[in-house]
């Protein structure tokens, strides 16, 4: 029984090999060009993925700078449009969402008004007050 089963297996494998040898429907072996193409596609995908990651990182860094500039511009615009604040005398510096106001103002009210304009600006989480109040000279 075992010999018969072994013989059928050998004949079957031989027949399959002969069929593939004499027919045009053999086992497809990938050509060298196809292998190189697949390798190039994988490498291109890796390079594209790495470039995308670096571009996203750079864009996130740029987004922070643009946000800082935008916050500074918003606050300076509010101060320029306000009747009680002299915007040209106040420097606005933004780092992340923290705004620092420096300069010399005429009164406590002007200082409070400038700080309030900065605090109520969307995107500002903290305002650092480095404003000085101008003292009148004694004659």
Residue indicated by tokens 């304009």: 117
Domain enclosing residue 107, as ranges: 32-133
Give per-residue pLDDT as tens, 26-84: 666 667 888 888 898 889 888 878 887 887 777 777 665 558 888 899 999 999 999 99
Residue 20 lies in a domain: no
Give the per-residue pLDDT at 133: 93
Looking at the domain assignment, is residue 111 inside a domain?
Answer: yes
Query: What distance in Å separates the CA atoms of residue 133 and residue 77, rounded to the nearest whole number?
Result: 22
Query: In this structure, is residue 18 part of a structural domain?
Result: no
pLDDT digits (tens, 9 = 90+) for 82-132: 999 999 999 999 998 899 999 999 999 999 999 999 999 888 899 999 999
Residue 99 belongs to a domain with what CATH number? 3.30.1340.30
Task: Give whole-number Cα distances, 63 to 67, 69, 70, 95, 123, in Å.
Answer: 6, 10, 10, 12, 13
Tokens 């103002």 locate to 105
Among candidate residues 90, 100, 92, the one with its CA nearest the CA of residue 127: 100
Q: Would residue 138 count as lying in a domain?
A: no
In a domain, 139, yes or no: no
Angle between helices 108-119 and 32-81 (to 10 degrees): 150
Going by C-alpha positions, the residue among 73, 121, 120, 116 that lies closest to residue 129 is 116
Does 124 reside within a domain?
yes
Q: Is residue 26 part of a domain?
A: no
**Per-residue confidence (pLDDT) for residue 107, from 0 to 100:** 93
Question: Does residue 99 fall inside a structural domain?
Answer: yes
pLDDT for res 48: 78
The total domain count for the chain is: 1
């Amino acid at each position: 029984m075992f010999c018969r089963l072994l013989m059928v297996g050998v004949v079957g494998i031989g027949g399959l090999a002969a069929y593939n040898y004499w027919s045009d429907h053999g086992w497809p072996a990938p050509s060298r060009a196809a292998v190189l193409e697949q390798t190039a596609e994988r490498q291109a995908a890796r390079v594209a993925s790495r470039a995308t990651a670096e571009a996203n990182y750079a864009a996130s860094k740029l987004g922070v700078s643009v946000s800082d500039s935008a916050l500074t511009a918003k606050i300076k615009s509010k101060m320029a449009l306000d009747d009680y604040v002299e915007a040209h005398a106040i420097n606005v510096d933004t780092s992340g969402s923290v705004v620092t106001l420096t300069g010399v103002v005429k009164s406590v009210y002007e200082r409070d008004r400038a700080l309030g304009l900065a605090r109520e600006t969307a995107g500002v989480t903290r305002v650092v007050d480095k404003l000085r109040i101008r003292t009148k000279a004694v004659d």
